[in-house]
Structures are given as C-alpha cells and as structure tokens.
C-alpha cells in the first residue's frame, strides 16, 4: 500500500473546483455516466500497465504499480456489475478531449531539461487524472440523485486519492523535487484551463453546464 505523503509535501489539489451541480447534471443519464466511468477505469489500468512495461527496472515501480493495476481492474469490474444490474451494456468509448488535451498541452510546454524529462510529464499527468477523478467521485458520492451508488463512489474516492499520491511519489523519487513542483504547477494550470473548456455531459471528465 502507498505510504501517504505528509500534508505539507502533498501537491495542491488541481486549481479548479467542480460544483455540486456538475454531479446532478451528469447523473441525468446514469448509464452513459457509468459506461464512461468503466472506460476510465480500463484506461487507468492500461496506462499503468504501459508504464510498467516501459519501465520495468525503475526502483520501486513494479511492486507499486502492480497493485494499482489490480485495483483499477477491480473498479472496472464493480462498475460493469452496476451497469449489468441496471440492464445496460458497456457502450463504445468516446475520445476524451481532456486527457488527450493534457498530453498535447504538455508537448507544447518547454521540454523538461532532464534525462527522460518526458517521463516526468507522464507521471504528473497520471497524478492529475487520478486527482481529478477523485474530486469527481466525491461530487458523485454527495449527489442526492446518486444515492444508490454512494458507497461505491465513497470507496473509489479513497483509492483515487492513493493513486494520485503514488504517481506524485514516483515523480519525486525519479526527478529532483524542484523540477517536479515546477512542472506540476504548469500542468495543473493547463488541466484547469482544459476542464473549463469541456462541454457538459454524462462523463466523469466533462465540463460544467452554465460556465
């Protein structure tokens, strides 16, 4: 299990805060929301698998990424069961302009002038995705229209918080602290801008109606 960083060492949460209205709006099409959520879990697992496959020898990576992969697969299974219980099926995945935009925004920033600097972006984008998912699951757990799924989302919040911290820890263990903090601040800024431009809809990473 990931050891939590001391409060003072944790990165700030992403810059923008999602209002409660986002969850109420997103819950209007529950099956679409659950399908999108299932694909998020699938992609989180696949991202960690790719990271592990490309970095098998980095100290401390394999033994901490393997449980994360297992957990993402377990989350996928739990969300799939919720879809099935409601008589639905997993829909086709749709492109995610937010996650894709994050990688594109990182490529437009001045490159990290360190060996394997691109890998710092990979780790910090992974951290930001987990952190944003954590925030969105919190809003869903609090939403009156999602009462049947409250315990699922409360449970998943805790896991996403740990996953976000794990990617932050891996970044700090691999790169100098100052470089990590500086890059994180730049990427978090980009993340907030992208989030603000997203259209609303029944997706975990969608925009807020009325903004």
For the CB of residue 144, give the shortest distance to Fe ion in the complex, in Å.
Answer: 25
Question: What is the spatial distance between Cα 103 and Cα 122, in angstroms, rounded to a whole number?
Answer: 8
Residue closer to Fe ion (CB basis): 76 or 106:
76
**Distance, CA of 81 to CA of 113 (rounded, Å):** 45
Beta carbons of 127 and 168 less than 8 angstroms apart: yes
The 101-140 site mask, x for binding Fe ion (CB under 5 A), equals: -----------------------------x----------
- Cβ distance 199 to 101 under 8 Å? no
| DSSP secondary structure code for residue 15 in this structure | S
Nearer to Fe ion, 93 or 182 (CB): 93
Under 8 Å between Cβ of 205 and 40: yes
Q: Shortest approach of Fe ion to residue 110 CB, angstroms?
A: 29
Quick count: other Cβ atoms within 10 Å of Cβ 115? 7
Q: Where are the beta strands (DSSP E) in the chain?
A: none
Q: Select from 34, 40, 42, 44 the one that contacts Fe ion (CB under 5 A).
A: 44
From the list 40-48, 56-64, 78-86, 186-194, the region that binds Fe ion by CB under 5 A is 40-48
Closer by beta carbon to Fe ion, 163 or else 172: 163
Residues 133-172 touching Fe ion, rule: CB under 5 A, are 160, 163
Q: Is residue 33 within 8 Å of 27, Cβ to Cβ?
A: yes
Looking up tokens 């749709």 gives 94
Q: Provide the β-strand partners of residue 200.
A: 207
Least gap, CB of 36 to Fe ion (angstroms): 15
Give the count of alpha carbons within 13 A of 110, CB side only.
Answer: 6
Shortest Cβ distance from residue 107 to Fe ion (Å)? Answer: 24
Q: 121 or 130: whose CB is closer to Fe ion? A: 130
How near is the Cβ of 183 to Fe ion at its closest, in Å?
21
Binding segment for Fe ion (CB under 5 A), chosen from 3-11, 37-45, 80-88, 100-108, is 37-45
Chain residues in the site for Fe ion (CB under 5 A): 44, 130, 160, 163
């Amino acid at each position: 299990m990931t050891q939590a960083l001391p409060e003072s060492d944790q990165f700030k949460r992403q810059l923008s805060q999602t209002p409660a209205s986002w969850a109420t709006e997103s819950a209007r099409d529950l099956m679409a929301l659950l399908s999108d959520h299932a694909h998020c879990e699938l992609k989180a697992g696949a991202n960690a698998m790719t990271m592990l496959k490309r970095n098998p020898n980095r100290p401390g990576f394999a033994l901490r990424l393997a449980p994360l992969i297992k957990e993402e697969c377990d989350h996928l299974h739990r969300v799939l069961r919720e879809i099935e219980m409601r008589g639905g099926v997993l829909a086709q995945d749709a492109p995610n302009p937010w996650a894709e935009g994050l990688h594109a925004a990182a490529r437009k920033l001045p490159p990290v002038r360190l060996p394997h600097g691109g890998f710092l972006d990979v780790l910090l984008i992974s951290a930001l995705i987990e952190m944003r998912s954590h925030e969105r699951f919190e809003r869903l757990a609090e939403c009156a229209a999602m009462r049947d799924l409250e315990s699922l989302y409360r449970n998943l919040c805790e896991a996403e918080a740990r996953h976000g911290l794990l990617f932050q820890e891996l970044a700090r263990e691999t790169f100098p602290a100052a470089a990590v903090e500086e890059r994180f601040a730049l990427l978090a800024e980009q993340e907030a801008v992208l989030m603000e431009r997203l259209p609303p809809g029944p997706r975990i990473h969608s925009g807020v109606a009325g903004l």
